[in-house]
Amino acid sequence: MKYFLIILLLLLISASTLTIYLQLNYPATSPLVTVTYMAENIGHKHAKTNRQLIGFLPYWRLDDSKYLRTDLMSEVIFFSLSADENGQIIKVDDGQTDPGWRWWNSSIVKDLITKTQVGGGRFSLTIAMQRNKTLEAFLDNPSSQQKLIQNLLKIVKEERLNGLNVDFEYGGEPDAGYRGKFTAFAQNLTSSFRTNSPKTILSIDFFPLSVEKPRLYDVAKLAPLFDRVIVMSYDYYSTSSKVAGPVAPMGGYKEGKYFFDIQTTYEDYLKIVPREKIVMGIPYYGWDFPVEDKDQPLSQVLPKNDTNGYPAVMSYGRMRDDTDINQDNCRWDELAAATWCSYLDSESQVPHQAWIEDNRSIGTKFDFAKAQNLGGIAIWTLGYDKNYPDLWQMISDKFTEKI
């Protein structure tokens, strides 16, 4: 009886020790959930990758997170929490719970944090600020900046996150001085994390044209502060474009066909940023435009109204499901290395031109990242491919080392 009690006591101590360990290292979920993910990973090793394979997971694509291959991802980045001009995380916006905040605190995200980390990947958070007036007020107030840094350190520590991604986007050209103020904020942010959370991987997002047209970003000064520079090399043509065009043309700028392209984007970045630090943003979507002439590339986009319709995101999954998109009405553009398709809307009879991202165009971008020996790729966005396995297989084929 005495030995039985001793064994029981040892088991209880072991269970308590394990529970404490799990709570400390995986605080996002309960120890029971964590153990479940550990059991699922027995015999399933995380892929050994030859590049950083990063994927942005926005809160509006969480329904498709069940298709996510965390075993192939180096890092999953939740997009996003937003900050206000006072350096506080936005929890309520216009009287409604901010959707980023609501989903960040959901069981879906908490479970995914643990699942990703248990499986050998990293889980990170994007902090976003994308309103000009908010950015200006924030950058004019050093105490607000310090408050945000403190808030971010707290979140990263409490959730045991692996990284922080900064996505501050200013629309247009800011007044003189704000570029320097943003650089000073970035210096304080990165310095605070290097001191108080040195293992946190820090990344920043830039526009394709940020080298030629800096706006808020002094790329040469900002890049050394961060571990990774993620170039958002997409939306060269988008909902605001006057003509229909490829979301991410590989070439065509020097030939005068497209206003800018991916090849020129990375030529610019490679002049001032080490290639191993650059992460290439790759879109899993294109744009579907109502146009004047569906069979003429770069056709004028029709005025946006209820009659003509509006440019719409054509995700990879939607492209695969859409019966209007088929080989008979699609063509390959050599300069852009992209597919475009023409069709008439079945209800309105309005002509459409859809520039899509398919296996061929996305594969070309993967190959470019490898050929340029860039530090990795960043998918925008995870979930856009729904339950189609093609792109995951392509990632496995091109970016993992076979054991």
Residues 250-268: tens digit of each pLDDT = 999 999 999 999 999 999 9
**Rounded to 5 degrees, what angle do the CA atoms 281, 285, 286 make?**
110
Residues 277 and 217: their CA atoms lie apart, in Å, by 17
Query: If you average pLDDT over residues 280-304, what whole number do you get?
Result: 97
What b/e string do you get for 239-248 counting C-beta neighbours within 10 Å, with b at 16 or more?
A: eebebbbbbb
The pLDDT mean for the chain works out to 95
Residue 294 pLDDT more than 60? Answer: yes
What's the whole-number mean pLDDT along residues 78-85? 98
The pLDDT of residue 97 is above 60: yes
| Whether pLDDT at 217 is above 60 | yes
Token readout for 88 is 């506080």
Which stretch of DSSP H or E encloses residue 145?
A: helix 142-159
Residues of the chain above pLDDT 90, percent: 87
Q: What angle do CA 212, 215, 219 make, to 5 degrees?
A: 60
* φ/ψ of residue 115, rounded to 5: -60, -45
Alpha-carbon gap, residue 190 to 164, rounded angstroms: 10
Query: How large a percentage of the chain has pLDDT more than 70?
Result: 96
pLDDT of 12: 54
pLDDT at 51: 96
Q: Is the pLDDT higher at 20 or at 274?
A: 274
Measured CA distances, 339 to 48, 288, 297, 326, 398 (Å): 32, 12, 11, 11, 21
Alpha carbon separation from 227 to 190, 269, 299 (Å, rounded):
10, 15, 41
